Amino acid sequence: MTGSPYLQVSLERDTVYQDENTSLFLSLKNSGNVSSIRVNEEPAANAPEELYAAKMELELERAGTTAQDISVILSMPYPQSVSPLEIKRAVAYAGNLREGQVSSVLPFPIEVYKNTTPGEYNLLATINYTFQRDVAVKPESDRPQNPDIYYLYDSASQVVPLKLRVERRSGAEFEVAGITPGSLVVGSRDNIVKVTIENVGYDTAYDLVARLRPESGIYVSVDESPIPVLAPGEKAELVYKVDVSKDAVPDKRYMFSLLFEFSDSFRDGLTDTENVYLTISPGGISPILLIGAAAIIAMAIAVAFIVIRKRKGTS
């Protein structure tokens, strides 16, 4: 027999988004076929056991296009440091596929990294399977309906290249341009924190709400700052009121997550995140009290100067 299995791979979804946890779904089709069958020796017409064995062997030969014990390994030809995503489960099993048969959908859970550069990436589907390379049916005159059958199996592997595209969910993209003040004092309350963001994308963000979520030890009493419209290239200042626990760790760099909810020109209900950082200073007089004290001192100096001038005038 001339022929063998030939497996084709289909990727159900070929586009994913940055910072997405999803699954890639693959299916296999066995397009193998028997192109020819060679008869080594004609059975004797007066030997029913040979006729039966030849007929059985012809039927069994057709099973040579069946792929058995199929496994699929999904990978990317990139070093881990530059890979656009993590394949959380890289192996799936499709069982057996006869000629023309299509497998059930094989899921591969993935996590697309937030900082992945949008563009087209390569995937490799490595398919391993076994198949029947040959079969021989040996006739027996004393049991013509029950001949001896001998199978020869072989293993095979196919590597199928696939393409996957990574996109941003939105053309609006945000970056943190600055934060003031750069540090807060342990135990301080009612600190006003201002974060400047810029839309560095190519689409306008609408109804933007930016919520501030801090690490443990920091509390945000006013946690959102709405912006009606932020066009490409525009900046906006987000204002929050923040308290620092007396148990906060001095000199530690605390991370705050900015959670964006917005719409763009094409979609509603979009989300994005950015991180900002503040250093916590040891306990002492808070910046707010220092400013207040400085204002009082300046006022006292001004009053004293006026009094001195009046006294000089009366004298």
Which residues are CB-contacts of 107 (< 8 A; sequence separation ≥ 6)? 23, 24, 25, 89, 92
pLDDT of residue 153: 86
In terms of domains, do 310 and 250 share one?
no
Tokens 């059930």 belong to 104
In terms of domains, do 35 and 179 share one?
no
Interatomic CA distance for residues 99 and 175, integer angstroms: 54
Average pLDDT for runs of 10 along the chain of length 315 = 82 91 95 66 60 67 85 95 95 94 95 92 97 77 72 90 92 93 91 94 94 88 84 95 90 90 91 90 60 64 62 57
Provide the 10 A C-beta neighbour count for residue 81: 5
In terms of domains, do 156 and 230 share one?
no
Interatomic CA distance for residues 119 and 261, integer angstroms: 24
In terms of domains, do 279 and 305 share one?
no
Look at residues 114, 139, 167 and tell me which one is the last residue of a structural domain.
Answer: 167
* Counted domains in the chain: 3
Q: How far is CA 238 from the centre of its chain?
A: 29
Domain of 263, CATH number, reads: 2.60.40.10
In terms of domains, do 125 and 99 share one?
yes
In terms of domains, do 162 and 302 share one?
no
The token pair that represents 312 in the structure block = 């000089």
Interatomic CA distance for residues 288 and 188, integer angstroms: 9
Tokens 């022929």 belong to 3
In terms of domains, do 53 and 181 share one?
no
pTM for the structure as a whole: 0.61
Which residue segment(s) compose the domain that 148 sits in?
2-167
Look at residues 126, 144, 167 and tell me which one is the last residue of a structural domain.
Answer: 167
In terms of domains, do 87 and 142 share one?
yes
In terms of domains, do 158 and 70 share one?
yes
Interatomic CA distance for residues 7 and 300, integer angstroms: 88
In terms of domains, do 19 and 156 share one?
yes
In terms of domains, do 157 and 208 share one?
no
Interatomic CA distance for residues 205 and 115, integer angstroms: 20
Look at residues 100, 134, 167 and tell me which one is the last residue of a structural domain.
Answer: 167
pLDDT of residue 65: 87
In terms of domains, do 213 and 145 share one?
no
Interatomic CA distance for residues 7 and 130, integer angstroms: 12
Q: SS3 string of the chain?
A: CEEECCEEEEECCCEEECCCEEEEEEEEEECCEEEECCCCCCCCCCCHHHHHHHHHHHHHHHHHHCEEEEEEEEECCCCHHHCCEEECCCEEEEEEECCCCECCCEEEEEEECCCCCCEEEEEEEEEEEEEEEEEEEECCCCCCCCCEEEEEEEEEEEEEEEEEEEECCCCCCEEEEEEECCEEECCCCCEEEEEEEEECCCCCEEEEEEEEEECCCEEEEECEEEEEEECCCCEEEEEEEEEECCCCCCCCEEEEEEEEEEECCCCCCEEEEEEEEEEEECCCCCHHHHHHHHHHHHHHHHHHHHHHHHHHHHC
